[in-house]
Amino acid sequence: MDKSDSPKCNVLAIGRAKRYSPNSVDKDAAVLESVCRILQSEGMTVSTVNEDELQADGGGYGIFVSMGRSEETLRLLGMREREGCTVVNSTRGVSLCCCRKQLNERLREAGVPLPPEEGSKGYWLKRACGVAESSADVRFAPTRKAMEETRRQMAADGIGEVVVQAHVEGDLIKFYGVAGQNFFRTYYPGDDGQWKFGDEQRNGKPSHYAFDIRRLHNTAEKAAGMIGVGVYGGDAIVTADGNFVIIDFNDWPSFSRCRDEAAAAIAGYVKMKTAKLMSLRTNEESIKGYIFDYGGTLDTGGMHWGKALWHAYERCGVPVTEQMFRDAYVHAERTLGKNRIIMPDFTFHRTLDTKLRIEMEYIAERQESFNIEQWHAKVLDDIYSRTCGFTAESVKLLKQLRRDNPGAGMVLVSNFYGNVETVLQEMGFGGLFDKVIESAVVGIRKPDPRIFALGVEALGLKAGECVVIGDSYDKDIIPAKSIGCRTVWIKGEGWTDDEPDGSCADKIISKN
């Protein structure tokens, strides 16, 4: 969506309290100011406030761009999220980043490489709950005996619970990223001398060991998606053999080494998070109802489900070619289509579990030594956590549309396995649709335009008064247009490289 199409949006930018910016107050303020300038230049109306001055009423803002970390800030922004407002970063993600113990548990469950708890080169003790506000919150002990004494000292200082990790020798790298913006940068503090508390110096001058930056990027993006923060940073140790471990992961760092680039990427991320809502809003009185697709539209951000699963295989390092995966994916879809395997009470997690097992059984029959149990849970956790992130954003979108268009109807039309009602409840969509029309229930599948006609009928409107929103040009846009509906094509990464001309879409929202 270009600038001329963008309606004015009320944005509240929330600065971080000084206590959460040790040695970085000016740097944190500078990157937020840069983001605000860019958003203003793009036509958004932006106000700023420090998190200590945040008011409970929300002030009529629809978008909150926040560096805040206090419990009160997260509570107030959580209220805005539940109302359907856009909050960057999500309160769920920031809360996790502010509790190192829970954060590490989630990262470990997702297969993100972390330092071991035992080692021979010393130990790091870090405050388990709350962010590091001073050097006293992170301490080094050279031996196990010293570690126990340090633990006692921290308890005496009021830090009752700590996370202990063994020191890992290697190159210390700081990384910065913004999800979905192709922005990922790495730096060596040992080269540029930029430290927060000076702890980074323990790893000494970097040797610049060779490592796979794409794998680090993928790992960081996986962590960000699972946690729920799109603006992130952290620290990693690269060992002499090229492997790495993540020793820290943060919500919204200062980006002091790459502020201008980062600000542009963050502004792009904010616009990406709001673009779908802004593009779906319409002042045309003739539009009185919305018909949404589900799979690929509300649950993957516009990406074909085959591609979404393939990228999960890639992120988890599953040893399979893309062609083998594609064959397995098609096999699983046909198997589920021909056999009543998915029951009406299956949650989405259980549906994914079943689908992945069918895929991997297909691969195991054709690829020697492929171990299903080694990969199944990893891919399942990866793709499910990402889906939860996308659907949470879609729930906000629908709630906001409901508020902005109180008289408009909203219907779901989906090719699904007979359990979409269960999935909608699981993912937070319960009560948002006036009617749910599912292929397995009505006996009509897209691209048959009759299924969209059922959606129009359920709304009690004429086709020209309805707008259909979907990710599949062939299965959503063309058939909906053929019966006279208006159409919005969520154009994301497709199953093939074929590029439809888009002439049947009244509006295109590009997600690539």
Task: Quick: pLDDT tens for 426-436.
Answer: 999 999 999 99
Count other Cβ atoms within 10 Å, centred on residue 302.
Answer: 22
Residue reference for tokens 């940068």: 185
- Give domain 3-89+259-271's CATH number out of 3.30.930.10, 3.90.1260.10, 3.40.50.20, 3.40.1280.10: 3.40.50.20
Cα(230)–Cα(335) distance, rounded to whole angstroms?
36
Handedness of CA 419, 495, 483, 410 (dihedral sign): positive
CB of 478 closer than 8 Å to CB of 500:
no
Task: Quick: pLDDT tens for 119-160.
Answer: 999 999 999 887 766 778 899 999 999 999 999 999 999 998
CB of 286 closer than 8 Å to CB of 453:
no
Find how far residue 301's CA is from the centre of its chain: 10
Closest CA to 31 of 181, 271, 252, 217: 252
pLDDT at 7: 37
CB of 270 closer than 8 Å to CB of 14:
no
Cα(226)–Cα(230) distance, rounded to whole angstroms?
10
- E strand map for 213-260: 231-238, 244-251
What is the SS3 assignment for 226?
Answer: helix
In this structure, which amino acid lies at residue 361? Answer: E
In the chain, domain spans: 3-89+259-271, 110-251, 281-510
Cα(504)–Cα(488) distance, rounded to whole angstroms?
9
CB of 290 closer than 8 Å to CB of 410:
yes
Cα(59)–Cα(46) distance, rounded to whole angstroms?
12
Residue reference for tokens 């910065």: 176
Q: Which fold has domain 110-251?
A: D-amino Acid Aminotransferase; Chain A, domain 1 (3.30.470)
pLDDT at 273: 76
Q: Give pLDDT < 70 ranges for the chain.
A: 1-9, 58, 132-133, 195-200, 275-285, 511-512
Task: Quick: pLDDT tens for 83-124.
Answer: 778 899 989 889 999 999 989 888 887 778 999 989 999 999
Strand order across the 123-127 sheet: 138-141, 123-127, 162-166
Give the DSSP H or E segment for 48: strand 45-50
Distances (CA, A) of 98 to 91, 104, 248, 254: 10, 11, 11, 16
Cα(374)–Cα(313) distance, rounded to whole angstroms?
12
Contact residues for 61 (Cβ-Cβ < 8 A; gap 6+): 10, 11, 12, 47, 80, 85
CB of 409 closer than 8 Å to CB of 460:
yes
Q: What is the DSSP string of 74-115?
A: HHHHHHHHHTT-EEES-HHHHHHHT-HHHHHHHHHHTT----
Count other Cβ atoms within 10 Å, centred on residue 99.
Answer: 17
Count other Cβ atoms within 10 Å, centred on residue 15.
Answer: 21
CB of 354 closer than 8 Å to CB of 342:
yes
Find how far residue 173's CA is from the centre of its chain: 23
CB of 147 closer than 8 Å to CB of 164:
yes
Specify which residues 88 forms β-bridges with.
65
- DSSP β-ladder status, 231-238 and 244-251: antiparallel
Find how far residue 343's CA is from the centre of its chain: 28
Cα(414)–Cα(437) distance, rounded to whole angstroms?
6
Closest CA to 458 of 298, 293, 290: 290
pLDDT at 4: 33
Burial class (CB in 10 A: 0-12, 13-18, 19+), 339: exposed
- Tokens for 495, please give them: 């199953």
pLDDT at 512: 53
Residue reference for tokens 């100011």: 33
Cα(76)–Cα(412) distance, rounded to whole angstroms?
31
Instruction: Confirm or reject CATH 3.10.129.10 for domain 281-510, answering yes or no.
Output: no
pLDDT at 283: 46
pLDDT at 81: 82
pLDDT at 3: 34
Handedness of CA 497, 215, 273, 34 (dihedral sign): negative
Decide if 3-89+259-271 and 281-510 have a common fold: yes
Q: Enter the DSSP assignment of 217.
A: H
Closest CA to 410 of 362, 459, 376, 367: 459
pLDDT at 276: 54
pLDDT at 6: 38
Distances (CA, A) of 165 to 101, 123, 177, 416: 11, 6, 24, 45
Contact residues for 152 (Cβ-Cβ < 8 A; gap 6+): none
Cα(165)–Cα(222) distance, rounded to whole angstroms?
22
Provide the terminal-to-terminal Cα distance of the chain, rounded to the nearest Å: 12
